Amino acid sequence: MNIIICIKQVPDTTDVKINPETNTLVREGVQSIINPFDMYAIEEGLRLKEQFNGKATVVTMGPPQAESALREAISMGVDEAVLVSDRAFAGSDTLATSYTLASAIKKLGEFSIILCGKQASDGDTAQVGPGISTHLDIPQVTYVKKIESIKNGVAVVERMTEEGYDVVETPLPCLFTVVKEINEPRTPSLKGKMRAKSAKIQLLSAQLLDCEADRLGLKGSPTQVVKIFSPERRKGGEVYQGPIEESVEKVVCAIKSLIP
Amino acid sequence: MDYLLNEQQVMIRDLCRQIAQEKIAPVAAEYDKSEEFPWPIVKLLAQADIFGVSIPAEYGGLGGGVLETCIATEELSKACGGITLCFAASYLGLDPILLFGNEEQKKKYLPDLAAGKKLAAFAVTEPAAGSDASAIQTTAKKKGDHYVLNGMKHFITNGGDADTYVVIAMTDKTKGARGATAFILEKGMKGFTFGKKEDKLGIRASSTRELIFTDCEVPKENVLGKEGMGFIVTMKTFDVSRPGVASQALGIAAGALESAVKYSKERIQFGKPISSFQGIQWMLADMATQVEAARALIYATARMIDSGAKDVSKYSAMAKLFASDVAMKVTTDAVQIFGGYGYIKEYPAEKRMRDAKITQIYEGTNQIQRSIIALQLIKEMAKG
């Protein structure tokens, strides 16, 4: 079984700063990590690899320094790593990114399952995973919290919903985006770290992909970021004090006044 | 401080630090309370190849030496000195096999220990034989192609949870210390059972049990070294394992120091963080200096052993003695800096103080360490 895991390198911070002029992330002085949600995808991929004696390949699209994210994935036990990188990919939105990644995955040959984190911690769009499956024309199940079984070319998974979960059956090959409830990612191993140091990373540039040039990078990205701003802080609520009956009455009046 | 570690040693340090912070620190208080054996952490350390750091590559390890064990033990102990013992005591149990095992014994036992599939333990202590290891009562009588063991051991770290045991028993009581022999025992051998588990002051995540031998038959292939070498096996094992205990003490102390510095910056009294008071600053400065000195002595000793030096007993004893006294001092001072919060279980300061105490006692009390050092000094003087 060939398993593909898509990961993204993101800034290690919850306090993301935006350059107001370019509307892009300020990356200077911020350490890069693997998108936390993708760690669950890596762990699940490794579990499938171990269970089915398969091969796990990790893929990322990004600048050359994204190689360190791939090496970290290798140190956890992933077999192979592919860096999809080219200046032509710069400025990609989720549509162009998912198109590029889908083209790269096609290049890698047959696979049974693609795993992605449910979303990236920087952009929070949750669109690239579903986008890849659409470009590859394979089924997708998002927010997977458990892979119940995989046999005879069919996977049964549990998909998290707000109320509970759905049990979904899907033919392979397919794409899953996973939530943090699915597993607990392992720490790297020493032997893995040593292997990661010298492992060869396959580089896929635009030239090596069978893709249409005008669907890449900025050109292939219909999303226009017009402005990025922090929403105005909510003003503190009103506190009603005094005897309970009076306070309740005041609260009820206040609510009523809000109803048109 | 640059400790001039090589690439692999840095890797071990960083990975153990990550595991300590992310996986051990959050559960340390819980294990201290429940006294359960930390099997999930054993599994995690095994998966991360930590159990193999100092086992030769031909037996599935990473080929490091005493220094690698020390680095791992120190980093893990920063989060919990008790949980770390599942690892450190396993090395104490496998060290005699590394030092005295023949090829078959090494091939049979080391790969599973390197992979962390099994844990090891070393059993010398008995109720009447603590500092005086020559007073061992457990006997081993040769009978055909096996030995029959009778007696008991107590205070055995990893006892009951380990699978592989090195046990010292008397094959000839008339010869005193020269009548002791080391045996490799396996959990499940007929006549080999476990007694009570001790309820301890500290290192409560570590199991400490009695081993009981009732006509326990051990094949003669399981003799480690030769008959009568038990005492030498014990002493040589302690020579290489004592820097490990020292590292456990160092880790506990370094963890206490780190949390004391952090707390002193957060705790406001008289309108200022208490770190701005000279009384606290001088305590922190002394603690940091002691920790650094302990580390320097441990690393120097470990490197000396790894270089193949012969007379290491004195330095090994010094490292254990010094680092454990530092641990007791630093953890006690950390409790003082935490004040009332240092005395309650909601904060980790008091646990470190409880965990530190054992390092002055086991693998030879610090009084025994001083005797070893003094005897060696006198011997050296006599040689001229």
| pLDDT for A28 | 74
The residues near A240 (Cβ < 8 Å, ≥ 6 apart) are A247, A250, A251
- Calculate mean pLDDT across residues A69-95: 95
To 5 degrees, how large is the angle CA A70–CA A76–CA A77? 95
User: Minimum mean pLDDT among B123-137, B264-278, B334-348: which range?
Assistant: B123-137
Q: Is B66 on the interface with A (CB under 8 A)?
A: no
Single out the residue in B119, B150, B172 at which a domain terminates. B119
Domain-terminating residue out of B169, B196, B228: B228
Domain count of the fold of chain B: 3
Q: Which residues of B touch A191 (CB under 8 A)?
A: 49, 62
In tens, the pLDDT along B237-249 reads: 999 999 999 999 9
Using the Cβ of B22 and the Cβ atoms of chain A, whether some distance falls under 8 Å is answered with yes
Closest CA in chain B for residue A187: B48
Sign of the dihedral through C-alpha B33, B34, B39, B44 = negative
Q: Does B312 touch chain A (CB under 8 A)?
A: no
State the pairing for strand pair A174-178/A113-117: parallel
pLDDT at B261: 98
Contact A73, A80 (CB under 8 A): no
Confidence grade of residue B194 (pLDDT, cut at 50, 70, 90):
very high
Q: Per the domain annotation, does B2 fall within a domain?
A: no
Distance from CA of A118 to the nearest CA of B (A): 23
Estimate to the nearest angstrom the gap between the alpha carbon of B50 and the chain centroid.
15
CA–CA dist B268, A37 (Å, integer):
38
From chain B, pick out residues whose CB is under 8 angstroms from the CB of A188. 15, 48
Q: Is pLDDT at B160 greater than 80 in this prediction?
A: yes
Q: Are the CB atoms for B218 and B169 separated by under 8 Å?
A: no
* Residues 175 through 194 of chain A touching chain B, CB cutoff 8 Å: 186-194
Say if residues B73 and B244 touch (Cβ distance below 8 Å): yes
Helix (H) or strand (E) holding B105: helix B103-114
- Domain assignment of residue B204, yes or no: yes
For residue B54, give how far its alpha carbon lies from the nearest alpha carbon of chain A (Å): 12
* B372 lies in some domain: yes
Average pLDDT over residues B27-35: 97
Phi, psi of B339 (to 5 degrees): 60, -140
Determine the Cα–Cα distance for residues A28 and A35; give it in Å rounded to an integer: 17
How would DSSP label each residue in B156-189? Answer: EETTTT-SEEEEEEES-GGGGGGGEEEEEEETT-
Angle, nearest 10°, between helix axes B313-338 and B230-266? 30
Name the amino acid, one letter, at B48.
A
Give yes or no: residues B275 and B341 share one domain: yes
% helix, strand, coil for chain A, step of 5? 35, 25, 40
Whether chain B has a CB inside 8 Å of the CB on A195: the answer is no
As to burial, measured by CB atoms within 10 angstroms (0-12 exposed, 13-18 middle, 19+ buried), residue B254 is buried
Question: Tens of pLDDT along B314-366?
Answer: 999 999 999 999 999 999 999 999 999 999 999 999 999 999 999 999 999 99
Please indicate, yes or no, whether residues B244 and B211 belong to a single structural domain of this protein: no
Residues of A in contact with B48 (CB under 8 A): 186-190
Confidence of residue A21 (pLDDT cuts 50, 70, 90): confident
List the CATH number of the domain containing B343.
1.20.140.10
Asked if A65 has any chain B CB less than 8 Å from its own CB, the reply is no
All residues of chain A having their beta carbon less than 8 Å from the beta carbon of residue B18 are 187
| A33 neighbourhood in chain B, CB within 8 Å | none
B53 Cβ under 8 Å from any chain A Cβ: yes
Domain presence at residue B32? yes
Q: Count of CB atoms within 10 A of residue A212's CB?
A: 11
Query: Each residue of A195-245: pLDDT tens digit?
Result: 999 999 999 999 999 989 999 998 999 998 887 777 888 877 888 888 999
Tokens, residue B185: 């025992």
**pLDDT, position B383:** 86
**Token digits for A45?**
């991929």
Q: Is B354 within 8 Å of chain A by CB? A: no
Which residue shows structure tokens 């950390």?
Answer: B334
pLDDT (tens digit, 9 = 90+) per residue, B94-112?
A: 999 999 999 999 999 999 9
Q: Is the pLDDT of residue B142 over 90?
A: yes
Tell me: do B179 and B275 sit in the same domain: no
Residue B115 touches chain A, beta carbons under 8 Å: no
Letter string b/e over residues B95-108, b meaning 16 or more CB atoms within 10 A of that residue's CB: bbbbebbeeebbeb
- Out of A186, A187, A193, the one facing B11 most closely (by C-beta) is A193
Q: What burial class does residue B80 get, using C-beta atoms within 10 Å of its C-beta: 0-12 exposed, 13-18 middle, 19+ buried?
A: buried
Tell me: do B378 and B297 sit in the same domain.
yes
- What ipTM was reported for this prediction? 0.88
In total, chain B counts a number of residues equal to 384
d(CA B81, CA B331) in angstroms, rounded, equals: 12
For residue B263, pLDDT over 90 is answered with yes
Cβ of B18 and A194 within 8 Å? no
Instruction: Look at residue A31 and tell me whether its pLDDT is greater than 90.
Output: no
Contacts of A189 in chain B (CB under 8 A): 47-49
Query: Do B193 and B178 belong together in one domain?
Result: yes
Separation in Å, CA of B11 to nearest CA in chain A: 7
Q: Which entry of B104, B210, B363, B380 is annotated as an active-site residue?
A: B363
Grade residue A40 by pLDDT with cuts at 50, 70 and 90. Answer: very high
Residues B247 and B222 grouped into a single domain: no
Contact B48 A194 (CB under 8 A): no
State mean pLDDT over B8-31. Answer: 97
CATH at residue B51: 1.10.540.10
Are residues B54 and B164 located together in one domain of the fold? Answer: no
Q: Are residues B307 and B321 in the same domain?
A: yes
Pick among A39, A183, A190 to test the B interface (most B CBs inside 10 A): A190
- In the numeric block, which tokens belong to residue B298? 């441990």
For residue A91, give the nearest of A226, A219, A227, A229 by alpha carbon: A219
- Confirm whether B321 is domain-assigned: yes
B216 pLDDT above the threshold of 90: yes
Question: Does a structural domain hold residue B49?
Answer: yes
Among B8, B23, B48, beta carbon nearest to A189: B48
Residues B74 and B142 in one domain: no
Closest residue of B to A193, CA-based? B11
The CATH number of the domain holding residue B142 is: 2.40.110.10
Give the pLDDT confidence score for residue A29 in this predicted structure.
Answer: 75
Task: Report the alpha-carbon distance of residue B149 to residue B216 in Å, rounded.
Answer: 5
Task: Among B23, B44, B48, select the one facing A190 at the smallest CB separation.
Answer: B48
Half-sphere exposure of B153 (CA within 13 A, CB side): 28
Which pLDDT score is estimated for A93?
92
All domains of chain A in start order, with CATH: 2-215 (3.40.50.620)
- Residue B110 resides in a domain: yes
Among B176, B210, B228, give the residue marking a domain's end. B228
**Measured between CB atoms, does A47 come within 8 Å of chain B?**
no
| Local confidence band at A258 (pLDDT 50, 70, 90 cut-offs) | confident
- B363 is a catalytic site residue: yes
Contact A26/A10 with Cβ under 8 angstroms? Answer: no
Residue B223 shares a structural domain with residue B237? no
pLDDT of residue A237: 81
Q: Does residue B187 surpass a pLDDT of 80?
A: yes
Domain holding B156, by residue range, is 121-228
Query: Same domain, yes or no, for B163 and B114?
Result: no
Element (H, E) at B298: helix B278-306
For residue B119, give how far its alpha carbon lies from the nearest alpha carbon of chain A (Å). Answer: 19
Q: For residue B1, is it within any domain? A: no
- How far apart are the CA of B232 and the nearest CA of chain A, in angstroms? 33
Question: pLDDT averaged over chain A?
Answer: 92
Give contacts of B15 with chain A, Cβ < 8 Å. Answer: 187-188, 190, 193
Please report residues of A whose CB lies closer than 8 A to that of B8.
190, 194
Q: Residue B286: which pLDDT band, with cuts at 50, 70 and 90?
A: very high
To the nearest whole angstrom, how far is the Cα of A41 from the nearest Cα of chain B?
Answer: 18
Q: Give the pair of three-digit tokens for residue B224.
A: 């480690």
pTM (global) more than 0.80: yes
How distant, in Å, are the alpha carbons of A87, B90, B182, B192, B241 from that of B313? 62, 21, 20, 32, 11
Cβ-defined contact of B22 to A194 (cutoff 8 Å)? no
- B23 contacts A189? CB cut-off 8 A: no
Residue-level pLDDT at B214: 98
Token look-up 């333990």 returns B121
pLDDT(B189) > 90: yes
B148 and B178 in a common domain? yes
